[in-house]
Amino acid sequence: MSDLVARKRGRTVSVVLPALDEEATVGAVVASVRPMLGGLVDELVVIDSGSTDRTAEVASAAGARVVHRDEALPQLEPRPGKGEVLWRSLAVTTGDLVVFLDSDLVDPDPAFVPSLLGPLLSVDDVHLVKGFYRRPLRLESAENGTGGGRVTELLARPVLSALRPELSPVIQPLGGEYAATRDFLTSVPFAAGYGVEIGLLLDAHTRYGLAGLAQVNLGVRKHRNRSLLQLGVMSRQILGTALERCGVPTASADLTQFTQVAGEWLPTHIPVLVADRPPLASLLVADPDA
pLDDT score of 169 more than 60: yes
For residue 65, pLDDT over 60 is answered with yes
DSSP 98: E
CATH number at residue 272: 3.90.550.10
Average pLDDT over residues 161-172: 96
Spell 55-94 as b/e; 16+ CB within 10 A means b. bbebbbebebebbbbeebbeeeebbebbbbbbbbbbbbbe
**Overall number of domains in the chain:** 1
pLDDT in tens, 89-105: 999 999 999 999 999 99
Range of the domain at 46: 2-286
State whether residue 61 is helix, strand or coil.
Answer: helix
* pLDDT tens digits for range 217-270: 999 887 666 677 888 989 999 999 999 999 998 888 899 999 888 889 999 999
> Is the confidence at residue 141, as pLDDT, over 90?
no
Residue type at 103? S
The DSSP secondary-structure symbol of 43 reads: E
Alpha-carbon distance 283 to 290, whole Å? Answer: 8
